[in-house]
Amino acid sequence: MRQPCFKMYLLTLITKTFHFLPEEIAHNLALAGIRITYSTGILKVLLGKKFKEKEIPDNSFAERTYENKLGIAAGLDKDGEYIDCLSALGVGFIEVGTVTPRQQSGNPKPRLFRNRKDKSLLNRLGFNNKGVEALVENLKKRSSTIPIGVSIGKNFDTPNVEAYKDYLFCMEKVYKYSSYIAINISSPNTEGLRELSNDEFLGDLLGLIKDKQIELSETFEYVPIFIKISPDEEPEDLEDICKSITHYKIDGIIVSNTTLIHNEKNGYGGLSGSPLKNKANEKLSFIKKIVGDEISIIASGGVMSASDYLEKIDAGADLVQIYTGFIFEGPKLIHDILFTDSP
């Protein structure tokens, strides 16, 4: 592994100074800082030569070449406002969102909590975003050409029996601007959302999404669909979900969202980071045994180091996403992963 230079340690030090600020303020300031250093050319000086692994070939879900297998998960850039500056960090792809048809403010604050000891984040954000139209405008303006996934969800006040309308609406809006679309039915922070994974809703929802994908692909280039799942599903339920995904010829699965099973003092919300790693890896291995190479897998959850990244690749992930690890370690984590001896 190539050793990080002084500039990388400086970036890491800057990252860690944000940990002394309230979580959402730190999040917004950090993204603003990355954008300013990018637009002024400072980021290029700090990073030096762009990180780059050997290219991996086209595959069934990409329909294109990804520079590397490492990406940024949804939630960091909810409205697609930071695509160009985040892509300059060297990642192979970015997933933006989760976005909903209409703008919504999310759950009441405080709703994001950092645990430096455990290297974890607890969030109950609730799909705060500016709406799908605002995201589309940002996708149109981006200059970066790296693959962009778009995570879509339903508005908090849309009943589950009508949730399909929100997903189909967002699909139509983002389809031509997306490298793949992630169907988020597993966030724990929108009341009742995870019920969409149940038999009562899942089959009908997947069927309608597949029909819409086929319809849109007659006009635009084919865009793969991924279903993002919860790490809290019981094995028998997870097996049923995988069977439905396979039956409706959905292109892939994202493993996984945040977990509700924890003892965090700040109460209800989805936990991510180091405590999620083992559970997410168990679900990844379980799903891989069920689907084999039939559908593609993006792995997320608990990637805090290069070795964590390699564990997910070895378990069968086609691509891997970071979020909480990036919050705690900054660009150094990307450096460590992309310069490790990875496939």
Active site residues: 187
What's the gap between Cα 16 and its chain centre?
A: 22
Cα(201)–Cα(151) distance, rounded to whole angstroms? 19
User: Which residues share a beta bridge with 53?
Assistant: none
Using CA atoms, how far residue 78 sits from 40, 81, 130, in Å, is: 23, 8, 8
Backbone angles phi, psi at 113, to 5 degrees: -135, 135
Q: Are 112 and 121 in contact (CB under 8 A)?
A: yes
Cα(98)–Cα(319) distance, rounded to whole angstroms? 19
Pull the structure tokens for residue 296: 């593609």
Residue 156 CB coordination number (10 Å): 18
Pairing of strands 270-273, 120-123: antiparallel
Candidates 113, 33, 74; CA nearest to 331 is 33
Tally DSSP H helices, then E strands, for the chain. Answer: 12, 11
Helix segments in the chain, DSSP class H = 6-17, 23-39, 42-47, 83-87, 132-141, 163-174, 199-217, 235-247, 277-291, 306-314, 324-329, 331-338
